[in-house]
Amino acid sequence: MRILIGSDHGGFDLKKAIKAHLEEQGHSIEDYGSRDKQSCDYNDVAKTLAEDIAKGKAPRGILICGTGIGMSIQANKVKGVRAAHVHDVYSAKATRLHNDSNILTMGGRVVGPEHAKVIVDTWLETEFSAEERHVRRVKKIEG
């Protein structure tokens, strides 16, 4: 799968770990930065990646900042994006099943790398439920 990934300085280390993990699995990864731990604005990375997800450049994206909250807020401002802020496996599965999330956000200062890999794997492996109630709700989100 083609996956877009991005972080700010607070999510840099976790992004590197997840990127390596996904590449080992054979996924094609496009890195939107940051390229190091120098302070940068998460907004710029989140907006650019979210716009590319909305345009169909890739089916899924992952954004990581210190908490994951700022990335989620910024990404969700882009029409067509359903960014889910997740720190546990149950939520990762539920947001794919029920909300058809196309961007996962996490906190590099909140989630450890091994747990994050399980979250990412669960999120990527879970398909959206085609149940009418979930389809109806996602259509309401899309407006």
Q: Does the active-site annotation cover 40?
A: no
pLDDT at site 141: 86
* Cis peptide leading into residue 72 (ω within 30°): no
pLDDT at site 143: 84
Q: Ramachandran region of residue 36, left (φ > 0), alpha (ψ -120 to 50) or beta?
A: beta
Active-site residue, selected from the candidate residues 65, 85, 87, 134: 65
Distance CA 3, CA 104 (A): 11
Q: State the pTM of this model.
A: 0.96
- Chunk the chain into consecutive blocks of 10 residues (it has 143) and report each block's average pLDDT, rounded to whole numbers: 98 98 98 95 98 98 98 98 98 97 98 98 96 91 86
User: Residue 56 to residues 94, 111, 115: CA-CA distances in angstroms?
Assistant: 23, 28, 28
Sheet holding 83-85, edge to edge: 28-31, 2-7, 60-65, 103-107, 83-85
pLDDT at site 130: 85
**Residue ranges of domains in the chain:** 2-142
Q: How many residues does the chain have?
A: 143
Active-site residue, selected from the candidate residues 87, 98, 115, 134: 98
CATH architecture of 2-142: 3-Layer(aba) Sandwich (3.40)
